């Protein structure tokens, strides 16, 4: 009898799914990329055929097979003014270097090409000083499509006070995208209506040929040649586009706006939306209640949020608010969680 029990026990060890077919199953749809980062992933970007990721001291390129094809040391800085901004061919850190505020430009395809713009030395009117704004925004800068222009906020100081401005930089690269031909400040846009307080800036984004700054003092639209207009008042959070319509979110669900004239004017949508900070990945839109929080899927009509199925390992990290980007590249969705990057083919929703 003992021998029979032993044989049955051994058999169950090898066929445990059959012996416990009525037990609970664990759904772990996400897979982790095999690499080791020296610090938290600050943001990611979906380039045409690569995922770009960055920490305070490393830059990573990951191919469509999820292999790390470059792990580039970029060095620790004395101070950081918000998260870096990543583009298809260029990325920029906003840091302190040798006692100066610096916008440090790197090429994604050539680690030997670095160009510094000393922000404190950018020409401004007499009696005005300029330095980087230590913003806590979702994104501290924004590239246009193709990384040929960058806009980022600065603090402009005069004897009468401080306000925000926006620096616009034109970037010309070689045909192979492996050399800088020129990096030139073309505009310093003075926006007196925007107070220079780090926690007041929500985001800066590039949509439909213009930059949008969302802020406690409203939303401002800045054209590529440096002209600005205020398009909303009140504390706004984020701007995104879907099928030719530009949408704007705020803290209040009823303050949900849309523009059908490429951002020149905005009107209330007429329905409420819980969306706050919005990330577009593939043809879907994802919400964060605040920066670092878990992502949720936004319904097609923007009126509901749906809980995403995460792995237990990812959930274990969520109390530290480690989520900084959701992107789509090569048929997969990617999120970062602290020092890790996770991916999957299809988003799963909790029932």
Place of tokens 């792990």: 71
The torsion angle over the Cα atoms of residues 88, 298, 335 and 342, rounded to 10 degrees, is -130
Residue 150 lies in a domain: yes
pLDDT at 292 over 80: yes
Distance CA 295, CA 279 (A): 9
Residue 309 lies in a domain: no
Residue 66 lies in a domain: no
- Residue 18 is predicted with a pLDDT of 38
Residue 288 lies in a domain: no
Share of the chain above pLDDT 70, in %: 92
- Residue 26 is predicted with a pLDDT of 52
Tell how far CA 141 is from the center of its chain: 10
Share of the chain above pLDDT 90, in %: 86
pLDDT at 20 over 60: no
Handedness of CA 94, 82, 91, 111 (dihedral sign): positive
pLDDT at 168 over 80: yes
CA distances from 197 to 34, 89, 154, 155 (A): 39, 31, 11, 9
pLDDT at 3 over 80: no
Range of the domain at 132: 77-267
Residue 71 lies in a domain: no
- What is the number of alpha carbons within 13 Å of residue 24 lying toward its C-beta? 3
Band of residue 109 on the pLDDT scale cut at 50, 70, 90: very high
Band of residue 317 on the pLDDT scale cut at 50, 70, 90: confident
Band of residue 5 on the pLDDT scale cut at 50, 70, 90: very low
pLDDT at 194 over 70: yes
Distance CA 348, CA 351 (A): 9
Band of residue 271 on the pLDDT scale cut at 50, 70, 90: very high
For the entire predicted model, the pTM comes to 0.90
DSSP string, 154-210: EEEEETTEEEEEEEEEEEEE-TTS-SEEEEEEEEEEEEEEEE--GGGEEEEEEETTE
Distance CA 319, CA 292 (A): 10
Per the structure, the count of domains in the chain is 1
- Residue 316 is predicted with a pLDDT of 87
132-141 tens-digit pLDDT: 988 889 999 9
Average pLDDT over residues 124-151: 94
Residue 169 lies in a domain: yes
Quote the longest CA-to-CA distance of the chain.
Answer: 97
Q: Which two tokens stand for residue 46?
A: 């979906």
Residue 248 lies in a domain: yes
Whether residue 173 contacts residue 194, with contact meaning beta carbons closer than 8 Å, is answered with no
- Residue 198 is predicted with a pLDDT of 86
pLDDT at 12 over 50: no
pLDDT at 51 over 60: yes
- Residue 135 is predicted with a pLDDT of 81
Q: Which two tokens stand for residue 78?
A: 């004395």
Distance CA 278, CA 204 (A): 12
- Residue 284 is predicted with a pLDDT of 97
Q: Which two tokens stand for residue 279?
A: 């990330």
Report the mean per-residue pLDDT for the chain.
91
Residue 117 lies in a domain: yes
- Can you list the alpha helix ranges (DSSP code H) found in 241-325? 312-317
């Amino acid at each position: 009898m003992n021998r029979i029990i032993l044989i049955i026990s051994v058999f169950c060890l090898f066929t445990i799914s059959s012996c416990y077919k009525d037990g609970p199953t664990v759904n772990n749809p996400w897979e982790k990329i095999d690499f080791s980062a020296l610090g938290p992933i600050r943001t990611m970007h979906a380039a045409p055929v690569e995922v770009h990721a960055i920490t305070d001291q490393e830059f990573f390129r990951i191919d469509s097979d999820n292999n790390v094809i470059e792990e580039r040391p970029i060095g620790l800085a004395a101070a950081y003014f918000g998260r870096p901004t990543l583009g298809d061919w260029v990325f920029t850190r906003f840091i302190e270097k040798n006692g100066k505020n610096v916008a440090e430009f790197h090429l994604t395809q050539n680690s030997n090409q670095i160009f510094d713009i000393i922000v404190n030395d950018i020409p401004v009117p007499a009696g005005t000083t300029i330095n980087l704004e230590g913003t806590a925004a979702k994104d501290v800068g924004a590239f246009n499509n193709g990384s040929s222009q960058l806009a980022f906020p600065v603090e402009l100081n005069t004897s009468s006070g401080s306000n925000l401005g926006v620096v616009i930089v034109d970037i010309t690269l070689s045909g192979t995208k492996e050399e800088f031909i020129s990096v030139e400040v073309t505009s310093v846009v003075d926006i007196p209506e925007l107070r220079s307080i780090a926690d007041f800036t929500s985001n800066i984004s590039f949509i439909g040929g213009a930059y949008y700054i969302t802020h406690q003092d409203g939303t401002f639209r800045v054209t590529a040649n440096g002209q600005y207009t205020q398009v909303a008042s009140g504390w706004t959070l984020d701007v995104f586009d879907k099928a030719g319509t530009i949408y704007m979110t705020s803290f209040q669900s009823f303050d949900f706006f849309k523009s059908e004239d490429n951002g020149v004017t905005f009107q209330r949508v007429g329905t409420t939306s819980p969306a706050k900070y919005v990330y577009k990945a593939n043809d879907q839109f994802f919400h964060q209640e605040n920066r670092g929080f878990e992502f949720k899927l936004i319904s097609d009509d923007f009126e509901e949020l749906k809980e995403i199925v995460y792995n237990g390992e990812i959930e274990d990290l969520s109390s530290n608010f480690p989520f900084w980007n959701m992107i789509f590249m090569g048929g997969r969705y990617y999120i970062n969680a602290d020092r890790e990057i996770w991916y999957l083919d299809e988003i799963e929703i909790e029932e």
